[in-house]
Structure 1
């Protein structure tokens, strides 16, 4: 499922989210780019939210266990009881849940490494109005691995070619916009990032590929089941827009979809 259409003259059809995993304790879905996880002060014109959609699809209340930004696609996990939500919350706090993301970035980012760069908390004007704006930067670490690069012989600004990288990312901490800010810190911002990205490359990408979105995908979650204690791995496939980009840039999707 690709990015949701904006509400125009009539109410859009209610989306049906793909369920990636479900048992009596947990449910995971593939969240499309453009969908909020739950209501917030930013969503005045929005009609549908992942929490509401999942609740309606499975017929019971669900508890969001982590956050994906509205423009980020991929694995989104919910608990089906307060106790499971509490146990999974402890797992996230204890960093025993492995999150794997993929991003398309500007430039040729090579090799692998750890970005260890503290981040000042990003505050919402309304939602965080009582939070101290002078709070010290918090520790933030993200492992990255460059998987492939591509070049288009197109002129953008003063450059006569456009370079891209597909990067695998595994955040250790979970700060707001951490991956996006860490890649911008490395000077390889994510394509489609309107907050930390390239204001020349983003419009070119939109025109060349025919769509507009943040190219960040939550590909995989690995964790120990809070009740059965069995290892769980949940994956979300790249959607059609991602696959179109891979094809036009001659990138091997099979190798990138471990």
Structure 2
């Protein structure tokens, strides 16, 4: 597996768990659409722990960066899966969206499951929508003197998001639902705004970052709080937007 283009950015490791700051563009697992030699985060972890099975307890999309948690034994898997099932794991994201969002709000909007018909040909595409809740808070706003469509200026918001549920593409779909799609989202976003960030900021990624994770240690039960710093390119974009002094993490 060709893993030389990526290195592990470890946030924490012990004999039971490992936390990594995943870069945007890196798959967590091999996919039916990926090349057999394409690097994955699981592949990098197998190289680090060649004599151990590393278990995935949650996922991040390829385009999303940030903190992701892995278990390193079966007891840790059971404990962490139980925490996710009961909703006691708290995940926090940052995203940049089109328009000026309200100061804060809660999006309570059921989402129909998204299935990959190639990976799961028996999946029922007509299943009913599932409850989905997302809380958000606006950290900053900006107005750029760049025309977009019929508007003479372009407006964007920096938003801290905390999903209460874990539906596929939940943040991306919920923000689109309230008419504030994420910048860089090629599935649920707007091409004009994605193009603006590519052309004016040389930003070619989805601006969705998993920045914080709260959980209990699966063995010691100690409360854990992990933070994933933003990459240099994203911080550069934030600086150019005038957001260099924004408090990005929860205190």
Distance 1:208 1:41, change over 3 A: same
User: Pairwise mapping of residues 230-241 of structure 1 onto structure 2 (< 5 A)?
Assistant: 230-241=222-233
Measure, in 2, the Cα distance between the counterparts of 1:155 and 1:68: 33
1:84 aligns with 2:81: no
Q: Alpha-carbon deviations, 1:39-96, whole Å to 9, x = none? A: 1212136521001102212443211110100000000110001221121111101101
Contact 2:143 2:156 in 1 (8 A): yes
> Matched residue of 2:221: which SS?
coil
Measure, in 2, the Cα distance between the counterparts of 1:79 and 1:113: 33
Aligned to 1:3: none
1:255 aligns with 2:247: yes
Measure, in 2, the Cα distance between the counterparts of 1:116 and 1:184: 13
Distance 1:194 1:45, change over 3 A: farther
Aligned to 1:8: none
Which of residues 43, 51, 56 in structure 1 aligns to 2:42? 51
Measure, in 2, the Cα distance between the counterparts of 1:108 and 1:254: 16
Unaligned 5+ segments in structure 2 are none
Distance 1:12 1:208, change over 3 A: farther
Following TM superposition, the consecutive aligned residue runs of length 4 or more in structure 1 with deviations greater than 6 angstroms are none
> Matched residue of 2:81: which SS?
helix
- TM-score using structure 2 length: 0.95
Aligned to 1:105: 97
1:32 aligns with 2:23: yes
Aligned to 2:186: 194
Q: What is the deviation of 1:20?
A: 0.2
Aligned to 2:206: 214
Aligned to 1:20: 11
Contact 1:246 1:253 in 2 (8 A): no
Measure, in 1, the Cα distance between the counterparts of 2:150 and 2:5: 44
> Matched residue of 1:76: which SS?
strand
Measure, in 2, the Cα distance between the counterparts of 1:38 and 1:16: 16
Aligned to 2:146: 154
Measure, in 2, the Cα distance between the counterparts of 1:185 and 1:164: 16
Distance 1:241 1:183, change over 3 A: same
Aligned to 1:139: 131
Measure, in 1, the Cα distance between the counterparts of 2:164 and 2:134: 6
Which of residues 66, 83, 88 in structure 2 aligns to 1:96? 88
Measure, in 2, the Cα distance between the counterparts of 1:127 and 1:12: 24
Measure, in 2, the Cα distance between the counterparts of 1:125 and 1:46: 23
- TM-score using structure 1 length: 0.92
CA RMSD of aligned residues (A): 1.4
Aligned to 1:64: 56
Distance 1:19 1:253, change over 3 A: farther
